Amino acid sequence: MQKYILALVILISVNIYSENLNNKIITAKEILTLDPAKNANFTILSANPLTIDSLDIKNIKIMGAIVEGRFFSTP
């Protein structure tokens, strides 16, 4: 379970970076908790980029995404 939580935190960080590129202001309170009343936007990867060899990062597959609480799988 802790591996998945860490991966989720990593993915949230990636999404924060992406969203900040669009000049959105996001607070830690909005993004660092999961709650039924909040939107959940993140990407699900096949591996944790912090725990694999840096040369293998290019092989990580996007398994799906959660956007505003809805799951989207990759083809």
CA-nearest of 65, 68, 71 to 11 is: 65
What total number of domains does the chain contain? 1
Tell if the pTM clears 0.85, that is, is over it: no
Which pLDDT tens digit goes with each residue over 24-45? 555 555 656 667 777 777 888 8
pLDDT score for 7: 64
Of 11-15, 48-52, 53-57, 69-73, the poorest mean pLDDT is in: 11-15
**What are the structure tokens assigned to 71, written together?**
């799951």
Burial of 10: CB neighbours in 10 Å, binned 0-12, 13-18, 19+? middle
Could you list the residue range(s) of the whole structural domain that residue 23 is in?
2-73
Cβ atoms of 46 and 63 closer than 8 Å: yes
